[in-house]
């Protein structure tokens, strides 16, 4: 790989220096407003797999707080959060995330500020030695070939707090990067950041990085939630009900199909935004995304095909078919799946973002419940209406036969109404069916 080659060249050039000196790897995220994160692993720590490591966090003026974390998820390892304590000092708050609540101050992380820490010309510097930061929460080594780290920052005026439990609000930007920490090995357990620059060299190299603006992410999450819930909770069921409410020969082709197509496009757009959000959150394999793939896949790929097949069948024969029945039941299934997945989504959203008002899942539940009641009522209303019409029109002599056949047929047809075929009256007025 390019980096390795580059590094090999660098090592060749600095080979002699490297053996005696601290090696520092520095990462400066391009969206990090000039914030930089440096890592050094002393030789002994690298050899034995435990011992101190050295970190340097540096931020220009205008940064309220910034953080470096071990691992690629909040729950993976230690977090080092730095903010201004006073005009000249910084606070180091070591935290651990348990679950998805705001990470709490954890004094058991043995990390200390070293010489050179402080605020000089507005630049915050924290030189840190951590004595037990070589393993992640899952027991794996935090160092090595592809060691994952994450960072976050918030812009704003200096915090001016020496309270290590200071409440911090959502960050503005966050990201992850992966380093080969063998590039950072060197030194003899002394603070490498106060050694004169000439005797160490810094490499800016990472093998993989991701950067996410939390402001944009927040907007994407809202857009995703609104688009998919409007499509699944309101549009799909209501546009299906139109077949019951507006029983006309034109309903399917002129009203039901175009409106459902619009709903499908909205669901698809919401899905696209959701995929982008799940990439930002690194949640691609979670329940919510997987159920989402099924529900959206169903309404985008299966439902239109079944609907069109039933419509063609109906134009030929005037009857319902397996296409129609599947279209109706799968439609209900996919819509219900999408609605339930919306609830699952709220669970995710509130877990990862405490800003979401607790009333919104409740409102969602109420809207879903109301929609369900409306849906069921309309279907029963239409069925009872059809049934009473049938009863009125059938002659006593034929009642026995007709009571079975036409009702079965009507039910089929009201079934097929949902499936985009015909409408309730169609079976009795075949004249306009070609």
Q: Write out the residues near ligand NAG by the rule CB under 6 A.
A: 4, 7, 21-22, 44, 78, 88-89, 108-110, 118, 132, 144-145, 162-163, 165-167, 180, 182-183, 188-190, 195, 199
218 burial via Cβ count (<10 Å: 0-12, 13-18, 19+): middle
In the complex, what is the shortest distance from the CB of residue 274 to ligand NAG, in angstroms, rounded to a whole number? 33
In the complex, what is the shortest distance from the CB of residue 118 to ligand NAG, in angstroms, rounded to a whole number? 6
Return the structure tokens found at 193.
């950041």
SS3 of the chain: helix, strand, coil, percent, to 5: 50, 20, 30
Residue number, 120 or 392, with CB nearest to ligand NAG: 120
Return the structure tokens found at 230.
């409007």
Distance between the two ends of the chain, CA-based, in angstroms? 67
In the complex, what is the shortest distance from the CB of residue 359 to ligand NAG, in angstroms, rounded to a whole number? 25
Residue number, 106 or 425, with CB nearest to ligand NAG: 106
In the complex, what is the shortest distance from the CB of residue 60 to ligand NAG, in angstroms, rounded to a whole number? 19
Residue number, 7 or 329, with CB nearest to ligand NAG: 7
Residue number, 198 or 359, with CB nearest to ligand NAG: 198
Residue number, 55 or 243, with CB nearest to ligand NAG: 55
Location of structure tokens 């109404």? 417
CA distances from 139 to 39, 165, 382 (A): 20, 26, 62
In the complex, what is the shortest distance from the CB of residue 203 to ligand NAG, in angstroms, rounded to a whole number? 10
In the complex, what is the shortest distance from the CB of residue 307 to ligand NAG, in angstroms, rounded to a whole number? 52
The rounded distance, in Å, linking the Cα atoms of 211 and 191 is 30
Q: Find, among 297, 264, 287, the residue nearest to 343 by Cα.
A: 287
Question: Are the beta carbons of 310 and 420 closer than 8 angstroms?
Answer: yes
Residue number, 89 or 215, with CB nearest to ligand NAG: 89
In the complex, what is the shortest distance from the CB of residue 114 to ligand NAG, in angstroms, rounded to a whole number? 12
The rounded distance, in Å, linking the Cα atoms of 360 and 364 is 6
Location of structure tokens 């590094």? 7
In the complex, what is the shortest distance from the CB of residue 258 to ligand NAG, in angstroms, rounded to a whole number? 54
Q: Find, among 301, 352, 294, the residue nearest to 327 by Cα.
A: 301
Residue number, 178 or 350, with CB nearest to ligand NAG: 178
In the complex, what is the shortest distance from the CB of residue 80 to ligand NAG, in angstroms, rounded to a whole number? 12
Residue number, 128 or 273, with CB nearest to ligand NAG: 128
Query: CA torsion, points 373, 378, 383, 388, in degrees to nearest 10?
Result: 120
Residue number, 138 or 370, with CB nearest to ligand NAG: 138
The rounded distance, in Å, linking the Cα atoms of 17 and 21 is 6
């Amino acid at each position: 790989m390019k980096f390795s080659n580059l590094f090999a060249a660098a090592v060749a050039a600095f080979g002699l220096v490297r053996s005696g000196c601290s090696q520092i790897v520095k990462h400066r995220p391009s969206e990090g407003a000039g914030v930089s994160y440096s890592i050094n692993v002393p030789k002994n720590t690298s050899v034995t797999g435990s011992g101190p490591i050295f970190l340097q966090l540096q931020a220009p003026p205008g940064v309220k707080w910034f953080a470096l974390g071990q691992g690629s998820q909040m729950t993976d390892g230690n977090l080092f959060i730095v903010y201004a304590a006073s005009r000249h000092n910084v606070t180091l708050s070591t935290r651990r995330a348990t679950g998805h609540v705001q990470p709490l101050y954890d004094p058991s992380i043995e990390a200390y500020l070293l010489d050179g820490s402080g605020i000089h010309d507005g630049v915050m510097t924290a030189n840190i030695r951590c004595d037990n930061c070589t393993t992640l929460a899952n027991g794996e080594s935090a160092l090595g070939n592809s060691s994952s780290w994450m960072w976050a920052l918030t812009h704003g005026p200096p915090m001016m707090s020496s309270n290590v439990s200071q409440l911090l609000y959502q960050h503005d930007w966050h990201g992850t990067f992966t380093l080969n920490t063998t590039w950072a090995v060197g030194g003899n357990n002394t603070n490498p950041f106060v050694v004169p620059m000439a005797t160490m060299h810094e490499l800016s190299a990472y093998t993989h990085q991701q950067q996410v603006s939390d402001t944009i992410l927040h907007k994407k999450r809202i857009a995703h939630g609104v688009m998919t819930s409007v499509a699944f909770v309101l549009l799909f069921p209501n546009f299906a009900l139109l077949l019951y409410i507006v029983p006309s020969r034109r309903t399917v082709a002129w009203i039901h199909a175009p409106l459902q197509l619009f709903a499908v496009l909205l669901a698809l757009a919401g899905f696209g935004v959701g995929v982008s959000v799940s990439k930002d959150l690194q949640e691609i394999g979670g329940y919510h995304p997987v159920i989402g793939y099924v529900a959206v896949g169903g309404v985008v790929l299966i439902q239109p095909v079944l609907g069109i097949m039933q419509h063609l069948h109906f134009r030929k024969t005037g009857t319902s078919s397996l296409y129609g029945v599947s279209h109706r039941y799968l439609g209900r299934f996919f819509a219900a799946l999408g609605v339930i997945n919306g609830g699952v989504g709220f669970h995710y959203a509130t877990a990862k973002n405490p800003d979401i008002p607790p009333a919104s899942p409740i409102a969602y539940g109420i809207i879903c419940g109301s929609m369900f009641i409306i849906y069921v009522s309309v279907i029963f209303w239409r069925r009872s209406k059809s049934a009473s019409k049938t009863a009125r029109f059938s002659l006593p002599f034929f009642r026995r036969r007709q009571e079975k056949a036409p009702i079965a047929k009507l039910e089929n047809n009201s079934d097929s109404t949902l499936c985009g075929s015909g409408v309730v009256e169609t079976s009795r007025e075949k004249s306009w069916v070609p």
